[in-house]
């Protein structure tokens, strides 16, 4: 059992974020001694409605037949487009991760509603980076419960990216006024978040355990790791009692031990709760690169529940640069991401 403290992350309203938060608040959220996470409250009602619909849909998607799911897999994309299960390696054991299933979506539609992947120019230039350039693979709307899944998922993801733009704008101002780098491009992060065609969304379904004995390790649902995005937008998890149906959502987690854990700068494990009505944004290692360490990525993991039949569904949106964007003095994002993916698969 984890003996972790529960800490409240920095929380600001969407209105405050858009108007601009002060440097002290941003440093408390993202700085070298922080938890690397900020929570945004007072979101529009549309967010709450979409979150519930999309997160319920993930259980339906993850429980489609194996033949259907296999047709949504893309080996050439390193299983980072469409459905993926058992392809990622768990850091704690070195074994394939069958504890969760993922459905990956390219978010180029945020820039152009007609796009399901990066531009043809970028795709041809980075022909060996199919993990980022492969077009989306959507399940058929003929599946019961998934009739509006594509439209709802796109709308929710776009809303999250819109909020991420405001987070990025605050980061840009902080980096510029801190004079970290004299060559820092004005509005760099905001431009990336707004215009990137390589941002990825990951719909996550943590499969329920069959018995309480199956959930023994702290990071059994998602091993400790760093995101390699600039910013990762996170919804609060939706817990579903699948013994009562694939959309039998619970009001809250039935297990206080289950959830998101962050390892802070003192190497202490801290549990962070994201309220259902809020969005959270975590710092990724690419932001650490471009800010020259002023903003730091933090290790984190997800602990499963010991209560049988309970699934955990969530959505992460990895706001990250296009493949040709430089993230440090020697690597563009394609080269940087290569190092990360090879270590995880």
**What H or E segment, with its residue span, contains residue 10?**
strand 10-13
Encode pLDDT of 245-296 as tens digits.
Answer: 999 999 888 988 888 899 887 888 899 999 999 999 998 888 888 887 788 8
Quote the number of domains for the chain: 1
- Domain range holding 45? 5-344
Least confident interval from 74-83, 253-262, 307-316: 253-262
Encode pLDDT of 33-51 as tens digits.
Answer: 889 999 999 999 999 999 9
* Neighbouring residues of 32: CB distance < 8 A, sequence distance ≥ 6: 265, 293, 294, 296
Encode pLDDT of 123-150 as tens digits.
Answer: 999 999 998 999 999 999 999 999 999 9
* Neighbouring residues of 21: CB distance < 8 A, sequence distance ≥ 6: 12, 170
Mean pLDDT of 195-211: 90
3-state secondary structure (DSSP) of residue 232: strand
Residue 329 near residue 282 (C-beta atoms within 8 A): no
Mean pLDDT of 218-237: 77
pTM of the predicted model, to two decimals?
0.92
Is pLDDT larger for residue 116 or for residue 255? 116
Report which DSSP code applies to 43: -
Write down the number of H helices and E strands in the chain.
10, 14
CATH code for the domain of 134 = 2.60.120.330
């Amino acid at each position: 059992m984890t003996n972790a403290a529960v800490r409240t992350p920095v929380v600001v309203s969407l209105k405050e974020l858009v108007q601009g938060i002060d440097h002290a608040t941003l440093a408390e959220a993202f700085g070298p001694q922080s938890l690397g996470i900020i929570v945004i409250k007072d979101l529009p009602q549309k967010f709450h409605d979409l979150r519930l619909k999309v997160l319920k849909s993930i259980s339906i998607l993850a429980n489609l037949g194996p033949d259907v799911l296999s047709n949504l897999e893309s080996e050439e994309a390193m299983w980072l487009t469409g459905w993926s299960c058992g392809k990622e390696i768990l850091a704690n054991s070195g074994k394939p991760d069958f504890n969760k299933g993922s459905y990956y979506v390219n978010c180029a539609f945020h820039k152009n509603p007609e796009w399901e992947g990066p531009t043809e120019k970028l795709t041809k230039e980075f022909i060996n980076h199919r993990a980022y350039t492969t077009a989306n693979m959507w399940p058929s709307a003929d599946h019961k419960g998934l009739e509006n899944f594509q439209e709802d998922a796109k709308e929710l993801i776009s809303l999250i990216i819109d909020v991420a733009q405001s987070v990025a704008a605050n980061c840009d101002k902080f980096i510029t006024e801190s004079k970290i780098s004299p060559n820092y491009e004005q509005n760099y992060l905001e431009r990336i978040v707004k215009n990137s065609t390589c941002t990825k969304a990951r719909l996550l379904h943590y499969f329920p355990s069959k018995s309480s004995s199956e959930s023994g390790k702290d990071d059994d649902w998602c091993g400790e790791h760093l995101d390699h995005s600039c910013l990762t937008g996170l919804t609060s998890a939706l817990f579903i009692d699948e013994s009562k149906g694939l959309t039998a959502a619970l009001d809250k987690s039935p297990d206080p031990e289950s959830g998101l854990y962050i390892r802070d700068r003192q190497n202490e494990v801290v549990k962070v709760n994201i309220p259902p009505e809020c969005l959270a944004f975590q710092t990724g290692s690419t932001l650490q690169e471009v800010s020259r360490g002023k903003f730091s990525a933090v290790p984190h993991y997800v602990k499963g529940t010991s209560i049988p039949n309970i699934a955990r569904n969530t959505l992460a949106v990895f706001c990250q640069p296009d493949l040709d964007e430089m993230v440090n003095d020697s690597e563009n994002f394609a080269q940087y991401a290569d190092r990360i993916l090879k270590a995880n698969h």
